[in-house]
Amino acid sequence: MSTAIDQRPHDLLQMVQRASGRPERGLRFFRQGEETEFLSYAQLYEDAGRIAGALIERGVKPQQRIAVVLPTSADCVRALWGVLAAGAVPVPLPPPLPFTKPRKYAERIRGAVERSGIRVLIGDERLDPFLREMGVELEGRVQILCSPQLRGDTSVHRAQDPNAAALVQYTSGSTSAPKGVVLTHAQVLANLEAIVQGLQVGPDEKGCSWLPLFHDMGLIGCLFASVYRGIELLLMSPEDFVLNPAHWLRLFSKYGATIAAAPNAAYLHCVRRVSAKTAATIDLSGWRTAMNGAEGVEPETMRQFAEHFAVSGFRDSAFMPVYGMAEATLAVSFSPRGEGVHVLRVNRTALGEGRVVVAREGERDAKELASVGTPVLHMDVQVRDARGHELTSDRVGEIFIRGASVMEEYDRDETATHAALKDRWLATGDLGFVFDGRLYISGRRKEMIIVRGQNFYASDLEHLAGQVKGVAMDGAMAIRVQGDGTDSLVMLIENRQSDPESQKRIIAGVREAISSVLGVAPDEVVLLGRGGLARTSSGKLERYRGAEILLRHREQQRQLEQADTAPSLPRVAKGDVEAEAVA
């Protein structure tokens, strides 16, 4: 018997049961723009019980960590709730992508398997070569279950404790190794209520997402929030979006989707990959909320998107910059729905010094920042200095958060937990400030680069380098290199060019782009091939590995020179210099 749709659920399993009261609602899955499967919420609840029965038959215990390693699919969603129905705790992990190197993938997933003590993993046959690469680490200790065949003879829906762990979601690992955030049913539900209220989600809205289900924005903000509100959700794979973002946009036209979320780079990807001719055939007039979060929010990107897709009926008022993180379940602050982008121009030099000075009209040394709004329901935000004192609105500091949906621990990692939590306040690692009651994010604490006495945000350096022709999309990483008494600024650049003249133009372009705006030129510009920069499973730069990349590149160059077979590539400075990643 279904729970009434207006009754608040007490756990994530009851959330699906409540949504099943609308049998026509559910999840639609797409491949290359074509619908492949519809999974109603009623069917999801039933299937979850059968999967739970099979897991319990195999000895799964309450609160046991179960990895779910599946691509975006109905099987992935069934497995997540099947684990929950068994009283266990799902740990969504990234599945291998086509052409993924087994060893590299094994290294990525091994840390989570070991840290969370995972002994059961739900996947499919595509995982076999990658899991074999983990060899000794898995042998005899981890049971691999194939999702499509995971159905029990009986249906089980174990009672849930709202204060028990419901989910372990791993951080992206952009500035340090990924950590498992433990979230209770109550914490997740508190954030979902905040999301639904903050977005003012109506009962007949439709979500549309390509975001991976192992990432907090895709899992919590899209999948869980849709189930919580009982609205329909259209789901496609991240790979399909990357190859052809028009597939995503056409779903808004065909199915009348109204709400979606994406990182800043995704909106820029649409501008670059969807022609004006194609845009004219797409109807985006019904898209009323376009959240922008999960990474730095660039006002210029949203202007470009709004201009490019104005012919599609897209309105710039639909944009909604947001701020969140896995440690908060997801949402921390939202901009008001329907307001569009609120931009503040500040003096760039003063910002690097930790001061907020509104830029004068026409001032060249200015930086645009998009407000990410105000705290969501049951969330408190403070900006503090290095000593932990709360700052006034004209000062930049580290953002601390506290609330009903903020985690209490990293999975089996007391050291990281104690470092992050201070008197129940979470140190986010993000820098920002509050101005006129609105929150602004200026960068990451660990990405600040000090060169010749000046402070620079790595994201600023990378954004400017990324505008240079020949630099791959999101293909720039800024790192600090420690020398004898001084630090140097090194830019690591992914590019497609192989001839020396083109490479020289890229190097000169990067130097000019940065020096003309920031007044400092990189000491070195190192060109790498495509894929040369380390990235997280969700595509963010793994900044903490910058030093490793630079040292490996220099070693390769040294070996090539010794073999006298080095191609004509730009040279980097020699020497035994210790590189410190901006992490």
Q: What is the pLDDT of residues 481-512, one digit of tens each?
A: 766 555 678 888 887 777 788 888 888 888 88
Residues 284 and 383 in one domain: yes
Q: What residue type is 579 in one-letter code? A: A
Q: Which region among 105-114, 181-190, 509-518, 561-570 has the lowest average model confidence (pLDDT)?
A: 561-570
Task: Specify the pLDDT at position 4.
Answer: 44
Report the SS3 class of residue 557. helix
1 within some domain: no
Inter-CA distances, 468 with 113, 294, 424, Å: 40, 24, 44
The predicted model gives 82-98 an average pLDDT of: 91
Question: What is the mean predicted confidence (pLDDT) over 45-60?
Answer: 94
In a domain, 35, yes or no: yes
**Residue 46, pLDDT score:** 95
Question: pTM of this prediction?
Answer: 0.80
Query: Distance between CA 53 and CA 134 in Å, rounded?
Result: 29
Residues 361 and 507 in one domain: no
Q: Which domain holds residue 304?
A: 252-411+422-442
Higher local confidence (pLDDT), 331 or 463: 331
Q: What percent of the chain has pLDDT over 70?
A: 86
Taking the C-alpha atoms of residue 414 and residue 405, their distance in angstroms, rounded to an integer, is 19
Stronger pLDDT, 175 or 19, i.e. the higher one: 19
User: Does residue 553 sit within a domain?
Assistant: yes
Assess whether pLDDT exceeds 90 at residue 364: no
Comparing CA positions, the residue from 92, 73, 115 lying closest to residue 166 is: 92
**Per the domain annotation, does 3 fall within a domain?**
no
Q: Is the pLDDT of residue 446 over 80?
A: no
Give the per-residue pLDDT at 469. 83
Residues 520-524 have a mean pLDDT of 80
pLDDT of residue 414: 92
Q: What is the pLDDT of residue 407?
A: 96
What integer pLDDT is reported at residue 581 of this predicted model?
35
pLDDT for the residue 400: 96
Q: What is the rounded average pLDDT of the residues 319-343?
A: 95
Indicate if 297 and 431 belong to the same structural domain.
yes
Mean pLDDT calculated for residue range 202-220: 94
Q: Per residue in 447-483, is it b (16+ CB within 10 Å) or e — as a string?
A: bbbebeeeebbbbbbbbbbbebebbbebbbbbbbbee
Q: Is residue 44 predicted with pLDDT exceeding 80?
A: yes
CATH of the domain at 571: 3.30.300.30
Per-residue pLDDT, averaged over 162-168, amounts to 97
Q: Which of 243, 273, 296 is the last residue of a domain?
A: 243
The pLDDT of 457-477, averaged and rounded, is: 80
Question: Of residues 474 and 248, which shows the higher confidence score?
Answer: 248
pLDDT of 361 strictly over 80: yes
Confidence of residue 556 (pLDDT cuts 50, 70, 90): confident
Lowest mean pLDDT among 254-263, 371-380, 543-552: 543-552
Give the Cα separation of 577 and 481 in Å (integer).
Answer: 7
- Mean pLDDT score, 101-117: 78
What is the model's pLDDT at position 114?
86
Asked if 323 and 432 sit in the same domain, the reply is: yes
Q: What is the CATH number of the domain that holds 112?
A: 3.40.50.12780
pLDDT at 453: 54
C-alpha 53: how far from chain center: 33
The Cα angle at residue 431 between residues 426 and 434, in degrees rounded to 5: 90
Instruction: With a cut of 80, say whether residue 373 has pLDDT above it.
Output: yes
Helix boundaries (H) for 257-313: 264-273, 276-279, 299-308
Q: Are residues 374 and 493 in the same domain?
A: no
Q: What pLDDT, on a 0 to 100 scale, did the predictor assign at position 428?
A: 93
Segment 440-463 shows an average pLDDT of: 73
What's the half-sphere exposure (Cβ side, CA atoms, 13 Å) at 422? 13
What's the total number of domains in the chain? Answer: 3
Q: Can you give the pLDDT at residue 566?
A: 47
On whether both 107 and 155 belong to a single domain, the answer is yes
The mean predicted confidence, pLDDT, of the chain is 85
Give the 3-state secondary structure of residue 409.
strand
Percent of the chain with pLDDT over 90: 53
Query: 29 or 523: whose pLDDT is higher?
Result: 29
CB neighbours of residue 207 within 10 Å: 24
Cα 469 from Cα 272, distance rounded (Å): 13
Let me know whether 213 and 136 are in one domain. Answer: yes
| Residues 383 and 510 occupy one common structural domain | no
Q: What is the mean pLDDT of residues 333-353?
A: 91
Is the pLDDT at 570 greater than 50? The verdict is no
Q: Is the pLDDT at 447 greater than 60, yes or no?
A: yes
Distance in angstroms (rounded) separating the CA atoms of residues 166 and 183: 6
Answer whether residue 337 is part of any domain.
yes
Claim to verify: residue 80 and residue 192 sit in the same structural domain: yes
- Band (294; pLDDT cuts 50, 70, 90): confident
CA distance 368 to 366: 7
Can you tell me which residue has the tokens 């990525």? 108
- Between 94-98, 230-234, 301-305, the lowest mean confidence (pLDDT) is in 94-98
Q: Decide if 356 contacts 331 (C-beta within 8 A).
A: no
